[in-house]
Amino acid sequence: MTSVETVSGVAANLARVRARIDEACRAAGRDPAAVRLLPVSKTHPTALLREAYAAGVRVLGENKVQEAAAKAAELADLPDLGFAMIGHLQTNKAKDVAAFATEFHALDSVRLAEALDRRLETADRTLDVFVQVNSSGEDTKSGVGPAEVLDLVRAVDQADRLEFRGLMTLAANSDDEDRVRDCFVLMQRLAAEVADAGFAPAGAVELSMGMSGDFELAIAHGATTVRVGQAIFGARPPAA
């Protein structure tokens, strides 16, 4: 397959994934318009990102700050294209994220919230954030535990430059559908607790959860953003 053929397939892949999302919404009795597709473009070249933009995508998900910042600079001619950082972030990278990102889906500490808020103040910008929750309890995953969620949401609420959007999780890395479902059910409960605590209106706490292998199940349990990469952009290029 040539690079031109690969690029031309992005729009078709987006349509196929969107059709799966719409079908999952119908099966769950939900409005398909209530679920956003966040294409994850990490490791892929900007030619593919431009094709996604041409197909109507206006926010792309990236894991690594340096890669995302370079892509943002290269695609600066697309002024309404935003980048959502979805990977773990060290506090010393807060300045870089504050300079260009429009969303951050991996907030996992008060210290990081404070660092981002300071850097955003300097840059005179705001940032939409999702608090990351370790819903599976797996040591390999980042995020706060369920008991810590309200404290971190409170820190976001008190920050001048952070805008609380909702909660994010990576479900259990398991073939056991019940284990994965339990993660999503927990997130629904936590979203309700955040709303009950007065940090957002009922039903307004977004849930960023579900990836290529489990987004239909996530949608059945309230996901409002699903993060899909390979099904849209293809397999990741081999490491150099």
Residue 78 sits in a domain whose CATH number is 3.20.20.10
Least confident of 5-14, 172-181, 182-191: 5-14
Computed over every residue of the chain, the mean pLDDT equals 93
Over 90: is that where the pLDDT of 147 sits? yes
Question: Could you give the residue ranges of the DSSP H alpha helices within the chain?
Answer: 3-27, 46-54, 65-74, 94-100, 110-123, 149-158, 177-196, 215-220, 230-233
For 9, 32, 149, 179, 233, the CA distances from 146, given in Å and listed in that order, are 40, 28, 6, 16, 33
Is 169 part of any domain? yes
Average pLDDT over residues 106-118: 98
Residue 239: the pLDDT is 58
| Pairing verdict, β 127-133 and 162-169 | parallel
- Give the residue, 130 or 5, on which the prediction is more confident: 130
Is 240 part of any domain? no
Average pLDDT over residues 148-161: 97
Over 90: is that where the pLDDT of 236 sits? no
**pLDDT category, 123, cuts 50, 70, 90?**
very high
Is 122 part of any domain? yes
Domain range for 143: 3-233
Average pLDDT over residues 151-159: 97
Is 238 part of any domain? no
Is 164 part of any domain? yes
Taking the C-alpha atoms of residue 76 and residue 82, their distance in angstroms, rounded to an integer, is 10
Place of tokens 């959860």: 209
Nearest to 84 by CA among 60, 108, 67, 68: 60
Q: Using the CB atoms, write b or e for 139-152: b if 16+ within 10 Å.
A: eebebbebebbbeb
Taking the C-alpha atoms of residue 147 and residue 69, their distance in angstroms, rounded to an integer, is 33
Nearest to 47 by CA among 14, 18, 79, 6: 6
Residue 235: the pLDDT is 81
| pLDDT tens for each residue of 23-49 | 999 999 999 999 999 999 999 999 999
Is 171 part of any domain? yes
Residues facing residue 207 across a β-bridge:
167
Is 202 part of any domain? yes
Residue 64: the pLDDT is 95
Beta carbons within 10 angstroms of residue 91's beta carbon: 14
Is 201 part of any domain? yes
Structural domain tally of the chain? 1
pTM over 0.85: yes
Beta carbons within 10 angstroms of residue 173's beta carbon: 12
Chain-centre distance for alpha carbon 206: 11
| pLDDT tens for each residue of 69-101 | 999 999 999 989 999 999 999 999 999 999 999
